[in-house]
Amino acid sequence: MFYIFIPIIVIFLIWLICYLKNNQVLVSLPYLIILFITPIYEILDKYVFLKIFGCVCVPLTQKNMLNIPFNANDLRLVIFSIFLILDFIYSQKLAKSLKKENRLVYLASIIIVNVLLIILINNIFKWS
């Protein structure tokens, strides 16, 4: 399943290197925010959120501290979706420094790359 993302990640890394060589580090930052947040979130997820919300190990008997049908996997999707929205707002401010014809491509690529990263991260770190 993950082999689908390999060409996308390679293209993304080549594109990111081109941005970094052109001294446009701030413009390439929205592509990296999700990657920077992931290790910090995984530590919190393992030691805090999993104890509070539980996992989906046994769906019928799943209990968590709050006694609601919401688990750590659902929380991960909510948190990363919030980061995606904030990342997009930040990238809109950065897009003002680009040429007008490049803005739409830049913003669309931010959304596409980050959504694919969130799907990949969710599939890799999913509690099952």
Of the candidate ranges 4-13, 36-45, 118-127, the one whose mean pLDDT is the lowest: 4-13
Asked whether residue 51 carries a pLDDT value surpassing 60, the answer given is: yes
Residues sharing a CB contact under 8 Å with residue 19, sequence separation 6 or more, in sequence order: 25, 27, 28
pLDDT at 30 over 80: yes
Q: Quick one: pLDDT at residue 26?
A: 73
Spatial CA neighbour of 90 closest among 107, 113, 76: 107
Q: Report whether 33 contacts 116 (CB < 8 A).
A: no
pTM: 0.71
Model pLDDT, residue 82: 94
Evaluate whether 41 touches 79 at the Cβ level (below 8 Å).
yes
What pLDDT, on a 0 to 100 scale, did the predictor assign at position 1? Answer: 47
Largest CA distance in the chain: 55
Res 50 pLDDT > 60: yes
Confidence of residue 94 (pLDDT cuts 50, 70, 90): confident
More confident residue, 60 or 99: 99
Residue 120, Cβ neighbours under 10 Å: how many? Answer: 18
For residue 64, which of 42, 81, 48, 82 has the smallest C-alpha distance?
Answer: 48
End-to-end CA distance of the chain: 16
